[in-house]
Chain A
Amino acid sequence: DSGVTQTPKHLITATGQRVTLRCSPRSGDLSVYWYQQSLDQGLQFLIHYYNGEERAKGNILERFSAQQFPDLHSELNLSSLELGDSALYFCASSVSDLRTEAFFGQGTRLTVV
């Protein structure tokens, strides 16, 4: 158990809908990262928050947004969902913002039908 909690584990929704994925980092970790894993794209970095502040954006679509709250948990919002958004979404946390290992949650498997 990495100490990173993601909910829900599975999500099935229809095209055009909006969903929210939640991540609770390890106790004491200030950084939260979101990644998308799909068969054709591999593991892609989406966004990084450190202590509530956005630090970096990767290949994140405009339909997607994220935030990190004062209690350090984070949410990833996916809207106007398309079939191609079906993937495994991972959250990871680390103690600092640079050069440290990250610990991953079990992921949320999103299926868009």
Chain B
Amino acid sequence: AQSVTQLDSHVSVSEGTPVLLRCNYSSSYSPSLFWYVQHPNKGLQLLLKYTSAATLVKGINGFEAEFKKSETSFHLTKPSAHMSDAAEYFCVVSEGSSGNTGKLIFGQGTTLQVKP
């Protein structure tokens, strides 16, 4: 069965410094992987997705993630944090290929704090 582990529950960075949010996945199949962001009292917004094309995926708001099969990782990065990036980030795997559902399996989330 698929699963995701977000290695940090809380990450704190200063504005203008790089962001790294770590995610490892477990999947018996070639996975579809996503990062979603949730701002306080808001719904979930798709940041980016990996679906077996390029291993380096670019998303919205300057975020990108690299799929590394050998490390079963899909870490999210951004070169320079902005105050508006403060939110909860979820690494997600789609159950896809097995069974008949594309249900999403969420990691526990990483809270990103951005200090001025």
Contact = CB atoms under 8 A, between A and B. Distances in A.
B61 to A, nearest CB: 16
Chain A interface size range: 20 to 34
A104 B88 CA distance: 15
B82 interface: no
A97 B101 contact: yes
B102 interface: yes
Interface string B43-60: 111100101000000000
B102 A107 contact: no
Contacts, number: 70
Nearest to A4: B43
B25 interface: no
Interface string B10-40: 0000000000000000000000101010000
B100 interface: yes
A56 B108 contact: no
Interface of A: 2, 4, 31, 33, 35, 42-43, 45, 48, 50, 55-56, 58, 90, 92, 94, 96-107
